[in-house]
Amino acid sequence: MKMFLISDNVDTYTGMRLAGIEGVVVHEREELERELDRVLQDSEIGIVLLTEKFQRDFPDLVDEAKMKHRLPLFVEIPDRHGTGRSRNFITDYMSEAIGLRL
């Protein structure tokens, strides 16, 4: 299985290419829809990395891809602008998951 990157910027794309991960840079909704359709048709792609900006800008597209398909696994990654998550994201997530205040 392969990893594939769908990025909103060239910097993240370049870094992932240096790590050996193929991908594309898209900016418009139609481009994202086209690339999501393409990766969903490719049975060799097991993990799709998406920059977090897509979840903020097009949550309906990203959520639909995540919920309706078992594979590939969609993973949101921070881009050059940093993460959109709070500083205590992991602690809050663990607290919510196990029901204990950490």
pLDDT tens per residue, range 48-95: 999 988 888 899 999 998 888 888 999 888 866 656 656 665 566 556
pLDDT digits over 7-48, tens only?
Answer: 999 988 998 899 899 999 999 999 999 999 999 999 999 999
Q: Is 73 exposed, middle or buried (0-12, 13-18, 19+ CB in 10 A)?
A: middle
Is the pTM higher than 0.75? The answer reads: yes
Alpha-carbon gap, residue 48 to 3, rounded angstroms: 6
pLDDT of residue 87: 61
Strands (E), the chain: 2-7, 22-25, 45-51, 73-77
**Considering its fold, how many domains does the chain have in total?**
1
Tokens 């998406």, residue located: 50
Structural domain boundaries enclosing 88: 2-98
Q: Is the peptide bond before 78 cis (omega within 30 degrees of 0)?
A: no
Task: Reply yes or no on whether the pLDDT at 98 is more than 70.
Answer: no
What CATH number should be reported for the domain holding residue 83? Answer: 3.40.50.10580
Place of tokens 């910097």: 11
